[in-house]
Structure 1
Amino acid sequence: MKKILTLFAVVGLFAFTGCSNNDDDVDYDTISGVFDVPNVSFTSENDYSKSVPNPSQYASDVILVYRSAGVETNGNRIWKLLPETYFTDDRGLDFTYTFQFSRDYIDIFMDGYDLDGVNSSYRLNQVFRIVIVPGDFLGTNKSVNKADYSDYNAVIKKYNINDKNVKELK
């Protein structure tokens, strides 16, 4: 009889213990950031590139770079994820905005042929936004709800990044 009661107790323990569905945990110890790089002009003098210091603190951080493609009627900027390629009808002036980064620098540049011939509205006074998404060294941060990195607002929401106090990099 004692063995049956023990068996029922063990089975009851497993039956009434379930998985937690609490996914409201907030990570307060990771460091993320949002930085603007304003007034970037791509010319032959700067080899159609802009280099800024990398503000990331950890080697595992992920760097995303967005370009301001305009402003909505409510005043919010429209951000497009790099690399971003344009195919123009006039004279075949195809070009790409892209970036690369190292531990020390983030390089934003235009790539293509005859970049001086690209309309100045695409080359001069561009605004870029750098978003630092905290990474993890082990790669165990697997999620069913992956962020759509091409959507700036989805990234900000997914990683709970505060983009109200944006710092400028020059």
Structure 2
Amino acid sequence: MRKLNLFIGALAALFIISCEGPQGPQGFDGFDGERGPAGQDGVDAIQAQVFELEGVNFTYDATDNLYDYLITFSDFTSFETLKEDVVLIYRYDGPVEFGDGAVEDSWGLLPQNYFFDEGIIQYVFSHTLFDAQVFIDGNFDLSTLSTDFTDNQILRVVIIPGEIASTGKLDTSNINSVMAHLGVTEQEIQKVTLQ
């Protein structure tokens, strides 16, 4: 009896697998991405925009007792920044040497605080779709601030599309993690030396 049931089951499975009916009607063509026109050649896969400014000199504003520097995105990239995009700015802190002799660059994500006997300074920024303004703010007379903090600074600007940044898997505090997540190598970063 078991052999008969097994034989009938195998025969039924073979029958069902080998059934083929008439082909259905042709479906409609799909829409281009996001119901818009096809992308331009070369920009479809843009994931993020990264550029580095070397030689940034902050300007002191005595009225507000702060330093500032304006970064206009269109001066360094030809891509439009959208309101959903995330703007990150890192300040180069210098090289760090480890006990084994290895040397790594140290980058700090803004905002960034420094504590002195006189008080505290903070590098902060605000941005629009077109630019970012970086400030050095503090709670003491900043006209006495060392040029080590105001002149010849290196800033790295990273503009990340909102859909990438919203995944929650991006550790923005670690610049190496951000670059790895975006698939951007050090050689691919546009580096601009300012006059």
Same fold, TM-score > 0.5, yes or no: yes
After superposition, the Cα gap between the structure-2 partners of 1:39 and 1:141, relative to the gap in structure 1 and judged at 3 Å, is: closer
Shift in CA distance, 43/148, structure 1 to aligned 2, threshold 3 Å: same
Contact 2:52/2:155 (8 A) holds in 1: yes
**Correspondence for 2:68 among 37, 49, 52:** 49
Matched, 1:107 2:126: no
> In 2, Cα distance between the equivalents of 1:150 and 1:141?
15
1:82 and 2:110 matched: yes
Runs ≥4 in structure 1, deviation > 6 angstroms?
none
Provide the C-alpha distance between the structure 1 equivalents of 2:71 and 2:127, rounded to a whole number of angstroms: 10
Structure 1 portions without partners, runs of 5+: 10-27
Q: Which residue of 2 aligns with 1:151?
A: 174
Bigger CA radius of gyration: 2
> Is the Cα–Cα contact under 8 Å of residues 52 and 169 in structure 1 kept in the other structure?
no
Higher relative contact order (CA 8 A, sep 6+): 1
Residue in 1 aligned with 2:91?
67
CA RMSD of aligned residues (A): 3.0
Instruction: Quickly say closer, same or farther: Cα 1:82–1:30, change in 2 above 3 A.
Output: same
Counterparts of 1:49 and 1:62, CA distance in 2: 21
1:142 matched residue in structure 2: 167
SS of the residue corresponding to residue 184 of structure 2 reads: coil
What percent identity do the matched residue pairs reach? Answer: 27
Q: Using the TM superposition, give the Cα deviation of residue 75 of structure 1 relative to its aligned residue in structure 2, in angstroms.
A: 5.9
Unpaired segments ≥5 residues, structure 2: 1-7, 18-43
Q: Name the CA shift for 1:103/1:140 in 2 (closer, same or farther; >3 Å).
A: closer
Size of the aligned set, in residue pairs, is 144
1:131 maps to 2:150: no
CA deviation after TM superposition for structure 1 residue 85, in Å: 1.1
* TM-score of the two chains, using structure 2 as the length reference: 0.62
2:137 maps to amino acid: D
